[in-house]
Structure 1
Amino acid sequence: MSAPAAPDHAVADLLGLVALGELLAFERMAADARFAPDLRRRAALSEMAAAEIANYRRLADRLGVLGVPPEEAMAAYVEPLQGYHDSTEPRDWAEAVTKAYVGDGITDDFLREIAEALREPDRQLVLDVLHESRYAEFAAAEIRHAVSADPKVAGRLSMWARRLVGEALSQAGRVVAADQGALTALIVADGRTDVAGLFRRLTAAHTARMAAAGLNN
């Protein structure tokens, strides 16, 4: 059964939010590739960045079809999303891949939940541009490798991951304020009002993700 129709402005706002996230992720990953300890890893993160900009183009094209300039759809979210990245600059390769793994993971979980309120083709578009599992697996493997090489790194990366989540949740509040009710409208359109349940599911997924990478929640 398809989701109930969401308000048109809410759909455009969500696509704008996702598009900006992809654009900033491209910039971040391309810059963070400099931390890579070898060319193989540098290429891997660069490929991840290339996927992000390709996803941005798909979202921008869809916004164009809806008659909304991408820059207008993204404008309200620039401050909170840029604020998140500015406050979570990684210092080395291990922190860079942890940010890609933890930060992108919890964001994807949230967007996957919200996307259930969309009708096609927008629902599938949002689901398609979420980060591929192979990238998460690459990042998790890099974290486990760093911990295996130096077990003391686990404590530092666990603290870094907690900071990432804290900053993400803080900026999420600003996103909700900036979108003037668009995300709330999507949740209501899908008939889901259990916000507490949503955050329980996000927390459970994050805990499992941390454990899979060998980090403490």
Structure 2
Amino acid sequence: MINGSESGPAPASSGNPSASGAVLDLLGLLAYAELGAFFRLADDAELAPSLADKGELAGLAATEYAHYKLLRDRLEELGADPQAAMEPFVEPLESWHTRTTPQSWLESLVKVYVGDGIAGDFYRQVAELADARTRELVSGVLSETERAEFIAAKVREAVADDPKLAGRLALWARRLVGEALSQAQLVATQRPDLAAMLVSEGADSEVGDLAAVSRMFARLTDSHTARIQAMGLTT
């Protein structure tokens, strides 16, 4: 669910070693993703079948907005314009969401859990090669325990009531993963600073080391099976 244009990173104040192009790209991408998650979860709350579910999703939406503000504030602290940092990712992210429009409330929950989950795995792996402050911030805003438990429980409950849903939702989850990985590969290759960060620990740190990037994406699929099992879906 991630991508970016080929425009350069948002401007940052000179003399601040934390304000690298890769860090600004990562924070800008994640900030817009969190802002988008807030709006989508708020919409999902309106479609929820019970008041309890509406309240849970509204709370999750509020958490996403709080995460967005942390990222926005960090961009400002680094001397960057948050809007400029997010702008390269607006059209691609919205395009991904258009291509993966859910057809039901359950599909929307699976999208949040699987699509946002694998995107979060990508952000975390990139952040592992960033400075300590960025790693700590990204780790904090990507905590998904509360959201994962709520969504997994709701999907398991629905599948228990109607077992035929399992296969259809599993197919939907696989589609989401494929789309998310494809978009992640694009951002890794189209945003040179991020691509350089991804391969910086290898023997060959040239931008465009697609082999290293591909190995990183292969690792992203490891947690997908666990998410599918947590929701009680077929593999």
> Same fold judged by TM-score > 0.5?
yes
Q: Which residue of 1 aligns with 2:213?
A: 195
Aligned 8 A contact 2:114 2:173 in 1: yes
Aligned 8 A contact 1:6 1:186 in 2: no
C-alpha separation in 1, matches of 2:185 and 2:125: 17
Q: Which residue of 2 aligns with 1:165?
A: 177
C-alpha separation in 1, matches of 2:155 and 2:103: 14
Instruction: Spell out, residue by residue over 1:57-108, the C-alpha distance to the aligned partner (whole angstroms, 9 max, x if none).
Output: 1101110011110111111111211111112222222111111111111111
CA displacement at 1:200 relative to structure 2: 2.6
| Structure 1 counterpart of 2:212, one-letter code | D
C-alpha separation in 1, matches of 2:214 and 2:200: 17
C-alpha separation in 1, matches of 2:45 and 2:99: 19
| Structure 2 counterpart of 1:133, one-letter code | T
Q: Which residue of 2 aligns with 1:186?
A: 197
CA displacement at 1:134 relative to structure 2: 1.7
Q: Which residue of 2 aligns with 1:63?
A: 75
Q: Which residue of 1 aligns with 2:226?
A: 208
Q: Which residue of 2 aligns with 1:37?
A: 49
| Structure 2 counterpart of 1:96, one-letter code | S
Larger mean Cα displacement after TM superposition, 126-135 or 14-23: 126-135
Q: Are residue 141 (structure 1) and residue 159 (structure 2) matched?
A: no
C-alpha separation in 2, matches of 1:47 and 1:124: 23
C-alpha separation in 1, matches of 2:128 and 2:182: 24
CA displacement at 1:7 relative to structure 2: 7.2
Aligned 8 A contact 1:77 1:175 in 2: no
C-alpha separation in 2, matches of 1:190 and 1:108: 21
* TM-score (normalised: structure 2): 0.84
Instruction: Spell out, residue by residue over 1:114-173, the C-alpha distance to the aligned partner (whole angstroms, 9 max, x if none).
Output: 111111211100111003212111111111011001000111111111121122123224
C-alpha separation in 2, matches of 1:190 and 1:132: 28
C-alpha separation in 1, matches of 2:179 and 2:219: 19
Aligned 8 A contact 1:6 1:185 in 2: no
| Structure 2 counterpart of 1:18, one-letter code | L
Q: Which has the higher helix share?
A: 1
3-state SS of paired residue (1:37) = coil
Coordinate RMSD, CA, aligned: 1.9
Structure 1: give runs of 5+ residues left out of the alignment.
Answer: none
3-state SS of paired residue (1:189) = coil
C-alpha separation in 2, matches of 1:123 and 1:27: 25
| Structure 2 counterpart of 1:199, one-letter code | F
Structure 2: give runs of 5+ residues left out of the alignment.
Answer: 1-16, 204-210
| CA distance 1:33–1:163, shift in 2 (3 Å) | same
| Structure 1 counterpart of 2:42, one-letter code | A
Which of 78, 84, 96 is the equivalent residue of 2:108? Answer: 96
Identity of aligned pairs, percent?
50
